[in-house]
Structure 1
Amino acid sequence: MKDFITIILFIIFIDITFHQCANPGRPTGGPKDTIPPTLIYANPVSGTTNFNSSEIELEFSEFITADKLKQQLIITPKTDINYKSIAKRNKLIIKLEGELEDSTTYNFNFADGVTDITENNPAINLSIAFSTGQYIDSLSIKGSVEQLLTKEPGKEFVVGLYPFSDSLDFFSENPMYFTTANDSGNYVINYIKKGVYKILAFNDDNSNFILDPETEAHGFLQDTIRLDSSTILPPIRTILQNVKPIKLINARPAGPYLEIKFNKTPDEYSITPDYLYHQVVGDKKDVLRVYKPDTINYGDSLQSIIYVKDSLNNEIKDTINYVFLQSNRKPSSFTYSIKESKLFITDSNRISLKFNKPIKSSDSSKFYIQADSTFSLQVFPKSKWNHNFTTLDLQFKWSPDSIFAAYEKTLPRDTTAIDSLSNDPINQSISAGPKQPALKLIIDKGGFVSVENDTSAQKALPLSKPTKQSAGVLKLTVQTDETHFTIQLIDENGKVAYQKSNEKNITFNTIKPSNYTVRALIDDNKDGKWSYGNLLKNQEPEQIFLYRQETSIRENWVVELGITF
């Protein structure tokens, strides 16, 4: 009996060992598979004519998967025919659920849609071209897409080719031929029929193959493409720009206000009567808010004429009849901000104040320089309001040394005295304190009153005397035949930090130490402003030159740079 049990246990052990060894699975260890699958059979093969089947079969050198085929497969010309795909072992079958157009060359570009099953290595340059007619269309175009303002490649932008006609509408039509730009911004479209086309590139965020100019950057080539041979096209420069003409959507009371809504942000506007206060509000800055004047009663019938222009010079003019209604809505709190975080005391200095409501009155006596409780100096800046009294630009002209010199040399006398500083240098005695005072520009409480009778709170802006240790200098020599241009210094956040126009020997003084990129905007049509172009008017953007190498500005350094364009 004991021998019998021993034999049984031995048999069980052998059976378990055998099954473990025979259990299929992915082997571990060894070198990583880096070899992509290759196509070893296709029906139809590339170049096939008179194709009339509804099924495409591909066979590869190894097991494959096509999980992302729907996102990756590009069929041109664009077709509305749906399809199903079946990937089994090393075969891929595509079943078309409709009939292809007669006498048409189709190209199935699989991009990275077919990969091996082990390491997801994509099949390289996998495409099949065939014709339902007697010959293959063989023309091609190639080129690149770049972002207009940064010159960065327009990777993953859809590049579409559209048959040209006078009624072509990029906002409702799909391209006939299309592809996607690679990571370098380069693109190629093959197997194109001879004809006349327009080309458009856009970042198709919603994947519908139709341009949405509100949210999708785009670019185009102004000239039509007369394609009778394969060609290389100029770069397509893209920018986010809503080119749809501005439209008035509605005008109606909203609380105590009249609010006029547009389909996009107005670039310029005016409204009558002139005594009305107004401003653009809303997350998209597409609503014009009008405030009730004190001289008008609630319920009075009013009429206004409004003129609006967008950034592309599209214009509208309309007449609005309305009334102001009483409301329990509480006004929003009154705030304002100073664009600058610190102010250098130089011969000519500017600051910009931005208010969240229109201002109906201001008090110039509320501006002064203060060091401590013993020193206060009134200042009178030149001021300039924007058209709706929501932005105020102030210019201070003073002698940089006069403030500090007067402070340091004057003996303490009347510590409560407030002297006066006009646009001329200081020449009077001022109460003094310790050297190197911590000066501030004070805008005192009540300096501004809003259209809703709010009064402003006090604000302080630190003042400092520029020193060689706190700033740098850039001397720029421009070599160009252009006569109308703007040179910009772009900071590390992509914002315009400094700029000058139409000068070929430029000195930027007291530059904040940082890294900058030099950019030139070319005013090709010499109208005094650089143009973004207009797809609807078939106008490409004006030229931009970008000096790609960053310029480093350091404290107490003078950097000399030459650019040519």
Structure 2
Amino acid sequence: MKRVVLYIIYVSGLAWMITGMSSCANIIAPTGGPKDTLAPVLDTVRSFPKMEQLNYKGNVVLTFNEWIKTEKLKQDLIITPRVQNYSHKVVKKRLIITFLQPLDSNTTYNLDFRNTIQDITEGNATPVRLAFSTGSQLDTMQINGKVTELLSNAPGKATLLALYKEDDTLNVAEDPPYYLTQTDDAGYFNFKNIKANRYRLYAVKDANNNKYYTKGEMIGFVPGIIDLNQGNRDSLQIDLVKEDYEPPRLNSKVPKKHLVELNFNEGIREIKLDSGQTNFQDKIQYNIAPNGRKVILYNKQSLDSIRVRVIAIDSVDNRLSEEVTLQFNNKPIKDKDRAAFGVKIAPTNGIGVEDNQLELEFLFPKPVKNLDASKLKYLIDADTVNFQPLIVDSTTKLQWNEYRTKLTLTRSIQFKNAIKVISDTAAFISVIDDSTTLVQQPIQRIDPTSVGLVNIKVETSTPNFVIQLLDQEFELIKEQDNSEVTGNQFRFNNLPPGTYTIRVIIDENNNGRWDPSDFKKEKLAEKIFFYDNPVQLRANWEQNITVKF
């Protein structure tokens, strides 16, 4: 028998009744119509506690004007002071937060739901914030400010701000804080309804979302104690840096034919080896590989083994000192087992020759034992016959680096457009008797109409600083220490057209490099300033800029 199905449709507040004949009835979501772009609206009458309600110690019930869902609520909901144990559930239009432990007495709680509450159809989020007190009055103190990534000057968006009581045993490297909040996209933060007390404040780029600092994350802090008994703290500036205060670690020693590779967990700036023997350099030659994580030691006297102290220093002067025994494999090296021994030739400025002053770098993968100067030559412009010696004792300056893996050659040469530098076969012999192959490298004269110049005048009372020029990718292009110039006048020439950023590093300890912070010692990073405006440079342009700090 057919069933009569009754449909009730509500339109503009009027009920319309439609009858029809059907064998069965299906519930179908309405289709068509404009896309829902409206976020759920909180029904303040049916929600509790009320905003800034006093003497409230129950659970939180939020009622909205439409069905809702939650998205990453356990991860993104911020409750301060910290509440570890709570549960939540959604029932149609209602979100219920149940506290599984008693709330602190006489305390103001803040709940910031951020984008966790959304409508069930389109996921439109509603940013609900709620404050209530378990006592007879609200806590009213505030802390606000801005977080910036120090090296890039970028806003520290989505950064955790962690506030710890001075007398608390909680640690930013081990425990979530008592109060926490998060920065907006511009890096600004604001703690509200804080109890008057004494606190320590940290900023953490909380990549793993554990609500405290983990090694490798960026961190910043306000040195000393923030005493809210003395009033609110406004406009704080916190700089984020990635700290590194642990020494390098030697991961492995790998013996190969006539050499040993030392592999480290990070890049090494400097390496020292000491066996206690005066003729050690005659026995072992070593260098840092281009990736910085590997040190290669070459056995020059067919030693079976030797005990040495390894001193490895990273980019921020952390130092490893460890005694190791090096075991060598002294089997003869077959030609097929030899690593390539080539030479790369390039102008030191990466562009070309200026004003007939040739300055070249010869780069090698292994230390060089011998150089045959007669096998280094050059040709001028289109000449293909008249080879001339590159090294002339009276006019050529040669300088090796510490590991004999880089040779800098400086001399003057008269030419019009270009020269071709030739390193003939066996011009260089490595420490294990490899010889370089033929290399012919064209070097162009710099066309002054194709590059630009930036002159920077610095006005400051700071005694030690470095001026850096960064490209659009924020890569370091050039830098100068103020001890290298006269009258704080800096000149950066032969720059390709583009957009540049001027960064100033305050070298407080005058060690020639930037030093990061150490939050455990409350030691701030060395200050960094940025020139406000990007420097636009075109070909054949000269920019004159004054920087004040």
1:386 aligns with 2:401: yes
CA distance in 2: counterparts of 1:247 and 1:102, whole angstroms: 48
What secondary structure sits across from 1:396 in the alignment? strand
User: Contact between 1:141 and 1:190, CA under 8 Å: does it hold in 2?
Assistant: yes
User: What are the equivalent positions in structure 2 for 1:187-202 lying under 5 Å apart?
Assistant: 187-202=189-204
Instruction: Tell me if 1:304 matches 2:308.
Output: yes
Map of 1:396 onto structure 2: 410
Mapped to 1, the partners of 2:160 and 2:371 lie a distance apart of 53
After superposition, the Cα gap between the structure-2 partners of 1:63 and 1:167, relative to the gap in structure 1 and judged at 3 Å, is: closer
Residues paired across the two proteins, number: 508
**For 1:205 and 1:85, how far apart are their aligned partners in 2?**
24
2:492 equivalent to 1:508: yes
Change (3 A) 1:123 1:359: same
Aligned equivalents of 1:468 and 1:487: distance in 2? 23
Which residue does 1:466 correspond to in 2?
446
Partner SS, residue 304 of structure 1: strand
Instruction: Assess, with a 3 A threshold, how the Cα gap between structure 1 residues 522 and 158 changes in structure 2: closer, same or farther.
Output: same
Residue 47 (structure 2) aligned to one of 28, 39, 42? 42
Q: Deviations over 1:60-98 (max 9, x none)?
A: 2332221332332112233432x4322232211123444
Instruction: Give 1:552's aligned residue.
Output: 536
Out of 83, 86, 89, the residue aligned to residue 86 of structure 1 is: 89
3-state SS in 1 of match to 2:521: coil
In structure 2, distance between residues paired with 1:353 and 1:196: 59
Query: Match of 1:520?
Result: 504
Aligned 1:308-323 pairs, distance under 5 A: 308-323=312-327
The answer for unaligned runs of 5 or more in structure 2 is: 1-17
Paired amino acid for 2:60: I
Instruction: Find the residue that maps to 1:71 and give its secondary structure.
Output: helix
One-letter code of the match for 1:128?
A: L
Aligned-partner Cα distance in 1 for 2:286–2:387: 36
Q: Which residue of 1 aligns with 2:69?
A: 65
* Counterpart secondary structure, 2:198: strand
State the shift of 1:342 in Å: 4.1
Question: Is the 1:171–1:212 contact (alpha carbons within 8 Å) kept by the matching residues of 2?
Answer: yes
Matched residues in 1 for 2:491 and 2:290: separation? Answer: 40
The SS at the match of 1:321 is strand
Residues 117 and 355 of structure 1, relative CA distance in 2, 3 Å threshold: same
1:95 matched to 2:104: no
Alignment partner, residue 125 of structure 2: 122
When normalised by structure 2's length, the TM-score is: 0.81
Aligned residue identity for 1:344:
V
Distance 1:262 1:464 in 2: 39
Q: Measure the CA separation in 2 of the matches of 1:395 and 1:16.
A: 97
Question: Following the alignment from structure 2 to structure 1, what is the Cα–Cα distance between the partners of residues 316 and 514?
Answer: 11
Would you say the 8 A contact 2:285–2:297 is kept in 1?
yes
2:297 aligns with 290
Hey, what does 1:279 align to over in structure 2? 287
Amino acid at match of 1:403: F
Q: Would the alpha carbon gap of residues 176 and 461 (structure 1) be closer, same or farther in structure 2, given more than 3 Å must change?
A: farther
Name the amino acid aligned to 1:454. Answer: D
Q: CA deviation at 1:58?
A: 0.9
Alpha-carbon deviations, 1:96-134, whole Å to 9, x = none?
44454566543221011112234433223x123344566
Shift of 1:490: 1.2
Contact 1:336 1:355 (8 Å CA) reproduced: yes
Look up the match of 1:490.
470
Cα contact 1:253–1:324 (8 A) shared by 2? no
Contact preservation (8 Å) 1:251, 1:320: no
Query: Is the 8 Å Cα contact of residues 473 and 558 (structure 1) preserved in structure 2?
Result: yes
Name the CA shift for 1:32/1:138 in 2 (closer, same or farther; >3 Å): same
Cα separation, 2, equivalents of 1:388 and 1:173: 46
Q: How does 1:416-431 map to 2 (within 5 A)?
A: none
8 A Cα contact 2:147 2:188, kept in partner: yes
Residue identity in the other structure for 2:300: D
Q: Which residue of 2 aligns with 1:541?
A: 525
Contact 2:248 2:318 (8 Å CA) reproduced = no
User: Residues of 1 paired with 2:137 and 2:114: CA distance?
Assistant: 25
Distance in 2 of aligned mates of 1:537 and 1:114: 41
In 1, Cα distance between the equivalents of 2:170 and 2:288? 34
Residue 153 of structure 1 deviates from its aligned partner by 0.8
Residue of structure 1 equivalent to 2:5: none
Q: Is the 8 A contact 1:491 1:515 kept in 2?
A: yes
User: Is the Cα–Cα contact under 8 Å of residues 246 and 263 in structure 1 kept in the other structure?
Assistant: no
The one-character-per-residue Cα deviations of 1:256-296 (angstroms, maximum 9, x if unpaired) are: 5445455543333311144122334596x4454433x2314
Secondary structure at 1:548's aligned position in 2? coil
Letter in 1 for 2:20: D
Q: Give the 3-state SS of the residue equivalent to 1:469 in structure 2.
A: helix
Say if 2:271 and 2:288, in contact at 8 Å, map to a contact too: no
Deviation at 1:154, TM superposition (A): 1.2
RMSD: 3.4
Matched, 1:176 2:178: yes
Q: Does 1:113 align with 2:116?
A: yes
> What is the percent sequence identity of the aligned residues?
26
Helix, strand or coil for the counterpart of 2:546? strand
User: Does the C-alpha gap of structure 1 residues 51 and 331 become closer, same or farther in structure 2, counting only changes over 3 Å?
Assistant: farther
- CA contact 1:255–1:328 (8 Å) conserved in 2: no
Q: TM-score, normalised by structure 1?
A: 0.79
Tell me the SS of whatever aligns to 2:520. Answer: coil
Residue number among 373, 376, 383 corresponding to 1:367 in the alignment:
376
Is the Cα contact below 8 Å between 1:246 and 1:314 reproduced in 2?
yes
**Which range is displaced more, 330-339 or 102-111?**
330-339
Q: Could you give the per-residue CA deviations for residues 469-510 of structure 1, whole angstroms, max 9, x where no partner exists?
A: 222222333222333222222112212222223243333332
Amino acid at match of 2:397: K
Map 1:326-341 → 2, pairs under 5 A: 330-338=337-345
Relative to structure 1, the CA distance from residue 96 to residue 488 in structure 2 (aligned partners, 3 Å threshold; closer, same or farther) is same
Q: How far did residue 521 of structure 1 move?
A: 1.9
Contact 1:63-1:90 within 8 A present in 2 as well: yes
**Residue 238 and residue 377 in structure 1: after superposition, are their counterparts in 2 closer, same or farther (change >3 A)?**
farther
Q: Which amino acid aligns with 2:88?
A: S
Aligned to 1:37, the other structure's residue is in SS state coil
Q: Which residue of 2 aligns with 1:425?
A: none
- Structure 2 Cα separation of the partners of residues 317 and 359 of structure 1: 27
One-letter amino acid of the counterpart of residue 550, structure 1? P
For 1:267, the aligned partner's letter is R
Task: Report the CA distance shift for 1:27/1:248 in structure 2 as closer, same or farther (over 3 A).
Answer: closer
How far the C-alpha of 1:30 sits from its partner, in A, is 3.9
How do residues 406-417 of structure 1 correspond to structure 2 at under 5 angstroms?
Answer: none
Whether the 8 Å contact between 1:368 and 1:443 is mirrored in structure 2 is: yes
Letter in 2 for 1:279: N
Name the counterpart of 2:227. 226
2: CA distance between counterparts of 1:225 and 1:213?
25
Report the CA distance shift for 1:266/1:468 in structure 2 as closer, same or farther (over 3 A): closer
